[in-house]
Amino acid sequence: MRRRLRIIINPVAGTGRQRKAARLLDARLDRDRFDADVVYTEYQRHAHELAKEAVNLGYDAVVIVGGDGSINEVGSALAGTDVALGIIPAGSGNGLAGSLGVPLNLTKAVDNINSYLLRTIDTGTANGIPFMNVAGAGFDAYVANKFHKAKMRGLWKYLLVGLSSLGEYRPQKYVFEADGRRFERTANVISVANSPQYGNNALIAPKAKVDDGMLDLVICNDTTMLNSIGLIIRLFLHNIDQSPLVKTMQCRELTITQERNDTSHLDGDPFELGQIIRYAVKPLSLKVIVPNGQEYAQRA
C-alpha cells in the first residue's frame, strides 16, 4: 500500500535551496511507495494550516522543505498525532535536522524520505505554543527578531546581525521556577532546548537529547562584549556548557518571569509571549523520518 505524503515548500526559505529540493523531489521520490502532492506556502503560518489539513485528510506524513521556522509550523500541527514529519533542510540554520542526523545534502535528504524510517521525539511548549528545537528569551530572541524583520537569510548575515547587536541589547533580571526550584538571575541569553543546536552546528545545549523527556535550560550571565564573543565561539566548539559564565540544568516544567516584556523566540522565529512564560515538555509526541542506519531508527 502506498503512503500518502503532503510536501509543503516554503518558497522563501534559505537561499534558493528550496527550488533545487523541489526538482529533486520530483525526480527522486519513490512513486511506487508514495502518493504525494506538492503545495507552496503563501503567507506566515500557512504551513501550519496545510499540515493540519493533511492530518484531517488522513495523510501518513507531511514533508516540509524549509528551515526551523517552517518545521515549527508543521510540527506544531503534527505533534500528538500519528502523522510523521519529514524534513528537507532548506533554511538558514537547520538546527533540528542537524540534531537528528537528517542530511543537509538535498539528494540524500530526499533519499532519507524514501527510506521512511521513523523516530519519535519530544516536543516542548511555551505558553501552550509548541516548539521542536530551541526556544528562549534574551539576546538571541532580540537578534532573531531583528533578523526576521530584515528578511535576511544565511549564517553570515545572522552572525553580522548578532555582532552588531552586542552593544544594543540590555540584559535584564529573570525569575526562574524549574520543577519546584526558584532562583533569580540577571542574564543575557535564556535558552530552553529540546535538541542541542541552534543550527549550523552551533550547540547551545551540547548534552540535550530529543527523547529524554526533559528540557535543557541554558542561562548565559550578563557579560562584557568580549566575553559574549567568547561564548559565541564556544557555541561552535561545542563546549559552551563548560563556561563559568553559563548555568545549565534539566527540567520538565519551567516558568520564567521577565523584568521587561521582551520578544521571545520559538525555533528561531520571534513570538510575543508576555512577561511570564511557562515551558513544558511533551515526551515522545512527534514522529520524524530519520536517516537509514541510525541506531535509534525503527522501520515503520
CA distance 288 to 294: 13
Q: What is the pLDDT of residue 156?
A: 59
pLDDT of residue 293: 41
Q: Model confidence over 202-222: pLDDT tens digits?
A: 999 999 999 999 999 999 998
Average pLDDT for 166-181? 90
- For the structural domain made of 3-123+284-299, what CATH number should be given? 3.40.50.10330
Cell numbers representing residue 261 in the block: 516584556
* 282/17: higher pLDDT: 282
Q: How confident is the model at residue 151 (pLDDT cuts 50, 70, 90)?
A: low
pLDDT in tens, 12-56: 765 678 889 999 999 999 999 999 999 999 998 899 999 999 999
Q: What is the DSSP letter of 149?
A: H
What are the tens digits of pLDDT across the range 100-130? 999 999 999 999 999 999 999 999 999 999 9
Give the three-class secondary structure for 137.
strand
Flag whether pLDDT at 226 surpasses 80.
Answer: no
The DSSP string of 90-121 is -SSSBHHHHHHT--SSHHHHHHHHHH-EEEEE
* Under 8 Å between Cβ of 141 and 265: yes
Rounded mean pLDDT, 252-260: 96
Counting residues of the chain whose pLDDT is more than 90, the rounded percentage is 73
Res 91: pLDDT: 83
Q: What is the pLDDT, as a whole number, of residue 163?
A: 64
pLDDT at 228: 81
Mean pLDDT of the chain: 90
Cβ proximity of 289 and 103 under 8 Å: no
Q: What is the DSSP string of 199-220?
A: ETTEESSTT--TTSS-EEEEEE
Helix (H, G, I), strand (E, B) or coil at 45: coil
pLDDT at 300 over 60: no
Contact between 205 and 134 under an 8 Å Cβ cutoff? The reply is yes
The CATH fold assigned to 129-282 is Tumour Suppressor Smad4 (2.60.200)
Give the Cα separation of 79 and 70 in Å (integer).
Answer: 14
Q: Where are the domains of the chain?
A: 3-123+284-299, 129-282
pLDDT score, position 149: 67
Tell if the pTM clears 0.85, that is, is over it. Answer: yes
- Cβ atoms of 12 and 69 closer than 8 Å: no
Asked whether the domain spanning 129-282 has the same topology as the one spanning 3-123+284-299, the reply is no
- Contact between 65 and 97 under an 8 Å Cβ cutoff? The reply is no
The three three-digit cell numbers of residue 113, written as one number: 524520505
pLDDT in tens, 52-86: 999 999 999 999 999 899 999 999 999 999 999 99
